Amino acid sequence: MIRLPAVFLLLSLVLPYLFAGCAPVTARPDVDLELAAKEAAIQKRMAVESRMKKFWRLSDVSLSVLEHGTALCADRVTYYLGMDTNSVDNVPDEWRQAYKDALHLGDRVRVTRVFANTPAAAAGFQPGDIVLMINGEKVETGDDAYAKFTRQLHEQLNTGEPVSFWVERDGVPVALNAHPAKRCDYAVVMSEDTVVNAYADGDSVVVTKGMMDYVENDDELALVVGHEMGHNVMGHISKQAGNRFIGAVLDGLIAGVTGVYTNNFANAAGMLYSQDFEQEADYMGVYFMERAGYDSTGAPNFWRRMGADNPYAIGHATTHPTSAYRYVFLEKCSKEVKEKEKEGQNLLPNMEELKTASK
């Protein structure tokens, strides 16, 4: 009897000869593995730069939407400064060198971006500043330094009071004082997915890299963020979950009689009002974007392009209204908002006209 390791050894000797006829036959140039490694480092740095460019664009637009949309967010309000920070301990090991190369990160918390017209910009923060102290407390370095810094900063921001900083700029300590501003208490994040998509989960808005590439301008991006914020502030996620739970109860009752659990009622109930929810989110989205200073006039064109790229959606409504319907609806929404602006009215949605407001 031949033992298993011996079989593997025999195969390793025989297989190259068995498949020799299927092997490449061209005389290819040799590749210097050191050069390939250097090229990998270049491509990783480029990947980081590309990702951060998209992320910063999303942050720039979403910060404005969140700040100027507080009147639409009820009690879901928090405080923010408006700068992006990072350190290498917050980055996966295999990407640390790329982030060092692209953003000059080290083991200390560094400001990588300061967004215009924010408290951080007003306070005088600059990209490259190394954060040393917050309200007299030292900012740590080492393992979990960035997570500790984030908690430390949020504790101070949550008071709503001015926050003092010491930063290091070009080797020189600099004192800064920031006055936090209010914004809607929802996170807006970017996923690595290349599919053209965006969604809300009740607490956050997620925009894919694919969507970031698809939107043609910041007005369209503000429409996307505003639409998902509409889902959040109108409680659509919890309403759908509640509907689904009721359906699941019916499925359970039927299963108790038949012995078969189908999940049919749960799935159907979860889709109740889905088209109305989408329309409501479109309506709210126009108000979110206009309050933030973006122009909704061209917003309907987003859905005209969507229809052109996805022809089935032009005339077939599923869980969402058709792209043609959404184009016409957004035209009316934009007209409503523009008339309110012209008349000097406060930009607040007409809640009594929202079909699902009381559902």
> What integer pLDDT is reported at residue 83 of this predicted model?
97
Cα gap 112→134, rounded to integer Å: 17
Residue 219, classified by CB atoms within 10 Å of its CB into exposed (0-12), middle (13-18) or buried (19+), is buried
Which structural domains are found in the chain, ordered by start? 33-68+77-184 (2.30.42.10), 187-353 (no CATH)
Cα gap 308→314, rounded to integer Å: 8
pTM summary value: 0.80
Identify whether the C-beta of residue 222 lies closer than 8 Å to the C-beta of residue 63: no
What are 45-61's pLDDT values in tens digits?
999 999 999 999 999 99
Provide the H-helix boundaries in the chain: 4-18, 33-68, 96-103, 119-123, 145-157, 209-214, 218-233, 236-258, 264-270, 274-291, 300-309, 312-315, 323-342
The encoded tokens of residue 283 equal 């309506």
What are 80-135's pLDDT values in tens digits?
999 999 999 999 999 999 999 999 999 999 999 999 999 999 999 999 999 999 99
What are 343-356's pLDDT values in tens digits?
999 999 997 654 43
